[in-house]
């Protein structure tokens, strides 16, 4: 059974909680005691229907204020796949939360209210999904029951969104007309929209092809931890532990190690239960090499003829996430890229991106909370980075405030 | 295994191993909380796999309420002997004896909340800067919002409104002296994933997870075991029933469920069919209030 990570975007008003509630309920992932608990709370508040938003709003402040503060993770499974939902709130701290949820997602669902059509918010969601390179995007045109299941209305929204999406980089775009409240096209096919010939949402989630989303071409293995037991049973064992960030590795493959540039050959790919024939992106393994060369955490194992760029100068898009303080040229921050920490100085803020209009503000010199900007940086040590468009693992980084240790930005490396 | 997509359990295992290695590489004094419950058993198993063939590079700590299931303590000591891992016991009884905490009284007395003091003392005296916990996000609504790397201040407190953003697989474990990280490598596992993993990896677990005959009595709709630590109230009558435990915690607040499941396959079938969450079914400690878990977590609880 495969694992699919999805992010949902939209506000409570779009019916997002209802949609998630229905997916969980119809896949029998809501338990009786959870349902009883939210029924009691809904009743206490004088609400006539069961408020499924209470399922995801877990914190006291959220329940009291009726808002969603943070990304909530939900789980459900069908016989075909297991799903992890990163449910991102639509109101406060929107960008920060959606970027967080989107960073690990294979698929995003963007909800659009059929009555309201494409709002600025929907454009923002789609932009962030494309910026974070979520491979699959589903536009859930919800509340079709409130527009009499009108095909023309659906087609109108589809046309408008498709035109907007042409400015973005979206690999796979799917539109589904639905009513989350009534269950049309969520799990079961709608009886009210026989003009729609596509999949239901759940069927799409179960079938969408995700196996080729991983980069299986460019071998990238950031060394995470060196395993040296130095025990009687394993006096000379020296293995490089890590999670494969790209490509396929096999014993016998010639590899190059950065930054030293030395080459060697993989003798064994180990797991706790024994050696394996090959390791591909996403797997945590331990690599052994034929030659004794100096390799430590933060080094990168790749192929001699296919290496990431080794550079101290980085061009990147960043999303600023600090509650306090702005990003400015000249600022020094800690940077974590793969398994390597360094310090970075912001050389230049090239432009701030207005995520509503997608226009560039080149006059802006400082970047505030939830804003997105293109910057250049100089790092104290070289990073072994690929463009984020080519590899989401070796193309991403975080920036950390050295005084507070707080993570203040998410970054995506650009092609130079 | 091939270049085909990993199965979901393999993907979860790979993620957990990655997290454990990050902590071992970046934190100076990590430790793994071990209760003898299924989640911490899976965690220890993952830790062994993450660093093989080298030994686990950190100790395990048991926060011991003194109100234990005998079988679980036997299991703990057996596992420690088999794996050679170092065990630290943070004792609630010691904290009571030293007058650091005052024990609740009455038939409903529980040492659940006192665990927080013993836990934080254990972290402080050992100067741990990263503490692995087996909490899962599917367990409870406050946990659904917690980061994998969850920051704790000098007082061990969690502030749900000031959590660090957590992106990709880039974790930020940086803390100042006195602060620490709680790290939850199995955040994304569900109860069923745990059981599938225990089956697939053939992991030994305490027998109380399987159906057995036990003297129990009913309280608040749960079957609680008759133990020397519990005082029965007037209307509570002990009886022998065929039960098993879905979770293992302090013996005074962990309820059993009626069950005839004596094999792992039968347990999986039962868990797959149940319509009540494991905490709802078996944990008196989570029933006290809507935000019971959130409040305890803010104080420094697991």
Which of A16-25, B58-67, B87-96, B143-152 has the lowest average pLDDT? Answer: A16-25
pLDDT bucket at A349, cuts 50 / 70 / 90: very high
CATH of the domain at A128: 3.40.50.300
pLDDT bucket at A324, cuts 50 / 70 / 90: confident
Kindly state whether residues A92 and A204 are assigned to the same domain: yes
Token pair in block for residue B226: 């008759």
Note the pLDDT tens digit of each residue in B247-261.
Answer: 887 777 778 888 999
Residues B164, A407: C-beta atoms closer than 8 Å: yes
State how beta strands B60-64 and B30-33 pair. Answer: parallel
Distance CA B23, CA B17 (A): 10
Query: Chain B residues with CB inside 8 Å of A337's CB?
Result: 170
Kindly state whether residues A203 and A143 are assigned to the same domain: yes
Cβ–Cβ pairs < 8 A, chains A and B? 192
* Residue for token pair 């239960």: A273
Is A93 or B227 the better-scoring residue by pLDDT?
B227
For B285, which DSSP code?
Answer: G
Distance CA A345, CA A378 (A): 5
User: Is A338:A222 a contact under the CB 8 Å cutoff?
Assistant: yes
Q: If you average pLDDT over residues A173-199, what whole number do you get?
A: 93
Kindly state whether residues A140 and A284 are assigned to the same domain: no
Whole-number pLDDT of residue A90: 66
* Residue for token pair 């509650």: A323
Whole-number pLDDT of residue A27: 75
Which domains occur in chain B, in start order? 8-193+291-299 (3.40.50.620), 206-286 (no CATH)
Whole-number pLDDT of residue B290: 57
Whole-number pLDDT of residue A121: 81
Kindly state whether residues A86 and A33 are assigned to the same domain: yes
Of B7, B168, B280, the CB nearest to A103: B168
Of A157, A186, A213, which residue sits at a domain end? A213
User: Is B168:A392 a contact under the CB 8 Å cutoff?
Assistant: yes
Whole-number pLDDT of residue A59: 65
Query: Chain A residues with CB inside 8 Å of B24's CB?
Result: 225
Residue B39 scores a pLDDT above 60? yes
Integer distance in angstroms from the first to the last C-alpha of chain B?
A: 35
Kindly state whether residues A285 and A232 are assigned to the same domain: yes
Domain count, chain A: 3
Testing the interface with A: which of B13, B48, B144 to mutate, by most A Cβ within 10 A?
B144
pLDDT bucket at B32, cuts 50 / 70 / 90: very high
Of A256, A279, A302, which residue sits at a domain end? A302
User: Is A241:A225 a contact under the CB 8 Å cutoff?
Assistant: yes
Note the pLDDT tens digit of each residue in B195-223.
Answer: 999 999 999 999 999 999 988 888 877 88
Distance CA A335, CA A345 (A): 10
Testing the interface with A: which of B1, B2, B5 to mutate, by most A Cβ within 10 A?
B5
CATH of the domain at A237: 2.40.30.10
Query: Chain B residues with CB inside 8 Å of A71's CB?
Result: 145
Residues of the domain holding A31:
2-213
Most confident of A22-31, A64-73, A381-390: A381-390
Is A54 or A75 the better-scoring residue by pLDDT?
A75
Q: Return phi, psi of residue A350, to 5°.
A: -75, -45
Residues B176, A242: C-beta atoms closer than 8 Å: no
Kindly state whether residues A286 and A226 are assigned to the same domain: yes
Query: Chain B residues with CB inside 8 Å of A323's CB?
Result: 162
User: Is B214:B240 a contact under the CB 8 Å cutoff?
Assistant: yes
pTM of this structure? 0.93
Distance from the Cα of B158 to chain A's closest Cα (Å) equals 12
Distance from the Cα of A258 to chain B's closest Cα (Å) equals 19
pLDDT bucket at A312, cuts 50 / 70 / 90: very high
Distance CA B193, CA B139 (A): 12
Helix-, strand-, coil-residue percentages of chain B, each rounded to 5? 35, 15, 45
* Residue for token pair 């935000």: B291
Question: From the CB of residue B202, how many other CB atoms can be counted at a distance below 10 Å?
Answer: 7
* Residue for token pair 């698929």: A107
Note the pLDDT tens digit of each residue in A333-345.
Answer: 999 999 999 999 9
Residues 6+ apart with CB under 8 A from B211: B242, B243, B244, B259, B260, B261, B262
DSSP-assigned letters across all residues of B133-194? ----TTS-TTGGG--SEEEE-TT----GGGPPP-BTTB------TT-EEEE-TTTT--HHHH
Note the pLDDT tens digit of each residue in A351-396.
Answer: 999 877 788 999 888 899 889 999 999 999 999 999 999 999 999 9
Distance from the Cα of A195 to chain B's closest Cα (Å) equals 35
Distance CA A103, CA A197 (A): 31
Q: If you average pLDDT over residues A87-96, what whole number do you get?
A: 72
pLDDT bucket at B1, cuts 50 / 70 / 90: very low
Share of chain A above pLDDT 90, in %: 65
Q: For residue B88, which of B114, B119, B66 has the smallest C-alpha distance?
A: B119
The rounded mean pLDDT for chain B is: 87
Whole-number pLDDT of residue A167: 86
Q: If you average pLDDT over residues A151-175, what whole number do you get?
A: 93
Note the pLDDT tens digit of each residue in B269-293.
Answer: 988 877 776 666 665 555 555 566 7
Kindly state whether residues A255 and A227 are assigned to the same domain: yes
Q: If you average pLDDT over residues B52-80, what whole number do you get?
A: 92
Kindly state whether residues A202 and A225 are assigned to the same domain: no
ipTM, 2 decimals?
Answer: 0.93
Residues A284, B17: C-beta atoms closer than 8 Å: yes
Token pair in block for residue A254: 């010639």
Query: Chain A residues with CB inside 8 Å of B193's CB?
Result: 82
Query: Chain A residues with CB inside 8 Å of B138's CB?
Result: 74-75
Which of A16-25, A325-334, B19-28, B246-255 has the lowest average pLDDT? Answer: B246-255
| Helix (H), strand (E) at residue B245 | strand B239-245
3-state secondary structure chain A: CEEEEEEEECCHHHCHHHHHHHHHHHCCCCCHHHHHHHHHHHHHCCCCCCCCHHHHCCCHHHHHHCCCCCCEEEEEECCCEEEEEEECCCCCCHHHHHHHHHCCCCEEEEEEECCCCCCHHHHHHHHHHHHCCCCEEEEEEECHHHHCCCHHHHHHHHHHHHHHHCCCCCCEEEEEECECCCCECCCECCCCCCCCCCCCHHHHHHHCCCHHHCCCCCCEEECCEEECCCCCCCCCCCEEEEECCECEECCCCEEEEECCCCEEEEEEEEECCEECCCEECCCEEEEEECCCCCCCCCCEEEECCECCEEEEEEEEEEEECCCCCCEECCCEEEEEECCEEEEEEEEEEEEEECCCCCCEECCCCEECCCCEEEEEEEEEEEEEECCCCCCCCCCEEEEECCCCCCEEEEEEECCC
Burial A26-63 (b: 16+ CB within 10 A, else e): beebbbeebbebbeebbeeeeeeebbbbbbbbbbbebb
Kindly state whether residues A74 and A129 are assigned to the same domain: yes
Residue A145 scores a pLDDT above 80? yes
Search chain A and give the residue with CA nearest B142.
A58
Search chain A and give the residue with CA nearest B55.
A229
Kindly state whether residues A189 and A75 are assigned to the same domain: yes
Distance CA B66, CA A247 (A): 51
Distance CA A48, CA A25 (A): 19
Whole-number pLDDT of residue A153: 97
Distance from the Cα of A263 to chain B's closest Cα (Å) equals 24
Distance CA A396, CA A411 (A): 6
Query: Chain B residues with CB inside 8 Å of A228's CB?
Result: 54
State the virtual CA torsion across B246, B248, B250, B255 in degrees, nearest 10.
10
Of B8, B25, B193, the CB nearest to A297: B25
Testing the interface with B: which of A93, A282, A318, A344 to mutate, by most B Cβ within 10 A?
A282
Q: If you average pLDDT over residues A320-334, what whole number do you get?
A: 94
Query: Chain B residues with CB inside 8 Å of A85's CB?
Result: none
Token pair in block for residue A55: 């399922």
User: Is A379:A312 a contact under the CB 8 Å cutoff?
Assistant: yes
Q: If you average pLDDT over residues A39-64, what whole number do you get?
A: 68
Of A280, A302, A324, which residue sits at a domain end? A302
Token pair in block for residue A180: 């989350």
State how beta strands B212-219 and B180-183 pair. Answer: unpaired
Kindly state whether residues A158 and A101 are assigned to the same domain: yes
Token pair in block for residue A97: 């939360």
Distance CA B302, CA B289 (A): 17
State how beta strands A263-271 and A254-258 pair. Answer: antiparallel
Query: Chain A residues with CB inside 8 Å of B18's CB?
Result: 224, 243, 284
Distance from the Cα of A408 to chain B's closest Cα (Å) equals 8
Testing the interface with B: which of A73, A238, A334, A370 to mutate, by most B Cβ within 10 A?
A73
Alpha helix (H) ranges present in B172-291?
A: 191-200, 264-273, 278-282
Task: Give, to the nearest 10 degrees, the angle between helix A151-165 and helix A120-131.
Answer: 50
Distance from the Cα of A193 to chain B's closest Cα (Å) equals 33
The rounded mean pLDDT for chain A is: 90
Note the pLDDT tens digit of each residue in B96-110.
Answer: 888 887 887 777 777
Note the pLDDT tens digit of each residue in B222-241.
Answer: 888 888 777 788 888 889 99
Residues B49, A56: C-beta atoms closer than 8 Å: no
Kindly state whether residues A113 and A226 are assigned to the same domain: no
């Amino acid at each position: 059974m495969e694992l699919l990570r999805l992010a949902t975007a939209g506000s409570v008003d779009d019916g997002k909680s209802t949609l998630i509630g229905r997916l969980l309920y119809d896949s029998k992932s809501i338990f009786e005691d959870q349902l009883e608990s939210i029924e009691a709370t809904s009743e206490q508040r004088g609400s006539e229907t069961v408020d499924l938003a209470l399922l995801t709003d877990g914190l006291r402040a959220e329940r009291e204020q009726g808002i969603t503060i943070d990304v909530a993770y939900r789980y459900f499974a069908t016989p075909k796949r297991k799903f992890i939902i990163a449910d991102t709130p639509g109101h406060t701290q929107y960008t920060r939360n959606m970027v967080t949820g989107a960073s690990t997602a294979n698929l995003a669902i963007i909800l659009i209210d059929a009555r309201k059509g494409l709002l600025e918010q929907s454009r923002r969601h789609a932009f962030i999904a494309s910026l974070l390179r979520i491979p699959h995007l589903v536009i859930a045109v919800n509340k079709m029951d409130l527009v009499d299941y009108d095909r023309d209305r659906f087609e109108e929204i589809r046309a408008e969104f498709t035109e907007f999406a042409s400015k973005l980089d979206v690999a796979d775009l799917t539109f589904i007309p639905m009513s989350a409240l009534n269950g049309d096209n969520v799990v079961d096919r709608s009886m009210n929209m026989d003009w729609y010939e596509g999949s239901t949402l759940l069927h799409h989630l179960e079938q969408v092809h995700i196996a080729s989303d991983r980069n299986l071409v460019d071998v990238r293995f950031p060394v995470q931890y060196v395993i040296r037991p130095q025990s009687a049973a394993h006096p000379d064992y020296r293995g490089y532990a890590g999670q494969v960030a790209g490509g396929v590795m096999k014993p016998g493959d010639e590899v190059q190690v950065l930054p030293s540039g030395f080459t060697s050959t993989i003798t064994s790919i180990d797991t706790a239960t024994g050696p394996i024939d090959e390791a591909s992106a996403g797997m945590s393994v331990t690599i052994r090499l034929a030659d004794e060369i100096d390799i430590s955490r933060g080094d990168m194992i790749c192929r001699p003829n296919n290496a990431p760029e080794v550079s101290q100068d980085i061009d990147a898009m960043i999303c600023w996430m600090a509650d306090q303080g702005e990003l400015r040229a000249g600022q020094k921050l800690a940077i974590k890229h793969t398994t390597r920490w360094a310090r970075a100085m912001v050389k230049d803020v090239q432009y701030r991106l207005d995520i509503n209009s997608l226009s560039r503000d080149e006059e802006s010199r400082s970047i505030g909370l939830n804003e997105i900007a293109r910057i250049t940086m100089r790092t104290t040590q070289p990073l072994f980075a690929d463009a984020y468009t080519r590899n989401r693992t070796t193309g991403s980084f975080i920036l950390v405030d050295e005084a507070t240790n707080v993570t203040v930005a998410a970054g995506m490396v650009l092609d130079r | 295994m091939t270049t085909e997509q990993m199965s979901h359990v393999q993907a979860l295992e790979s993620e957990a191993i990655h997290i454990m290695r990050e902590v071992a590489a970046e934190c100076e004094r990590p430790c793994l909380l071990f209760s003898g419950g299924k989640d911490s058993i899976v965690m220890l198993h993952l830790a062994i796999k993450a660093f093989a063939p080298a030994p686990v590079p950190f100790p395990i700590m048991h926060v011991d309420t003194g109100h234990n299931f005998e079988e679980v303590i036997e299991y703990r000591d057996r596992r420690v002997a088999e794996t050679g891992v170092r065990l630290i016991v943070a004792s609630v009884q010691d904290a009571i004896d030293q007058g650091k905490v005052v024990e609740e009284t009455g038939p409903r007395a529980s040492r659940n909340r006192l665990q927080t003091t013993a836990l934080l003392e254990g972290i402080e005296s050992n100067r741990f800067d990263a503490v692995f916990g087996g909490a899962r996000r599917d367990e409870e609504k406050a946990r659904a919002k917690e980061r994998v790397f969850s920051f704790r201040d000098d007082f061990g407190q969690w502030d749900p409104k000031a959590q660090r953003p957590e992106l990709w697989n880039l974790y930020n474990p940086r803390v100042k002296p006195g602060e620490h990280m709680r790290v939850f490598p199995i955040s994304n596992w569900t109860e069923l994933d745990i059981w599938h993993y225990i089956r697939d990896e053939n992991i030994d677990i305490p027998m109380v997870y399987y159906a057995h005959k036990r003297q129990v009595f009913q309280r608040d709709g749960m079957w609680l075991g008759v133990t020397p630590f519990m005082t029965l109230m007037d209307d509570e009558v002990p009886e022998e029933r065929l039960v098993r435990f879905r979770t293992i915690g302090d013996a005074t607040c962990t309820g059993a469920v009626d069950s005839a499941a004596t094999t792992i396959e039968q347990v999986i079938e039962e868990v797959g069919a149940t319509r009540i969450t494991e905490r709802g079914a078996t944990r008196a400690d989570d029933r006290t209030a809507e935000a019971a878990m959130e409040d305890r977590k803010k104080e420094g609880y697991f």
